[in-house]
Structure 1
Amino acid sequence: MYLNEVKNVLIDVLHLGEAGARLDADSPLLGSLPELDSMAVVTLIGALEEHFGIAIDDDDISASTFETLGSLAAFVAQKAA
């Protein structure tokens, strides 16, 4: 359920356009998407918080959270639960 919504937020924040449409759960994010730099991560976190009505603490975030689209979606699902 969360995968497509997280994907859409990611596409919007990073302005991925058509390239974003090809992302799936196994698509690597951090280190693989040049658009996903440290400032974009901060912006993305804010957008996810707003979209899903969740609060994400700095301590919650690790590199593994942003490893793949699937890991990011699972993180959001866990925070929203």
Structure 2
Amino acid sequence: MTRSDILNRLKLIIAENLELSVPAETDESARLYDDLNIDSIMTLQLLVYVEESFGVAVPDEDIDPASFETLGGLVSFIERLLAAVA
């Protein structure tokens, strides 16, 4: 799965499950809290959707707040989780 595939799936998850508007031109530099208006509760919900959608488990000790600053950080986090599963 490419970074682009992961990014597109994330944008879809955010739009459909968190019911937030995600403009088509949104890229990896988009900040989750400032640009997409995701709050702390939504971040927890997003983690659940990531686990379900990508078939990964997110161990509590692996959660780095820096991974949730931008979409690109979250894509990299998911890439590491997918690599661990493979």
TM range (shorter): 0.7 to 0.9
TM-score (ref. length: structure 2): 0.78
Unmatched tracts of structure 2, length 5 or more: none
- Following superposition of structure 1 onto structure 2, how do residues 64-75 of structure 1 map, counting pairs within 5 Å? 64-75=66-77
Aligned residue pairs: how many?
A: 79
Partner of 1:54: 56
Q: Which runs of 5+ in 1 are unaligned?
A: none
1:11 matches 2:5? no
Higher relative contact order (CA 8 A, sep 6+): 1
- Is contact 1:49–1:55 with CA below 8 Å preserved after alignment? yes
Q: Over residues 19-51 of structure 1, what are the superposed CA-to-partner deviations in whole Å (9 max), with x where a residue is unaligned?
A: 4433211111134433x2221111100000000
CA separation of 1:56 and 1:3: change in aligned 2, threshold 3 A: same
State the Cα RMSD in Å: 1.6
The structure 1 segments of at least 4 consecutive aligned residues displaced by more than 6 Å after TM superposition are none
Identical positions, percent: 35
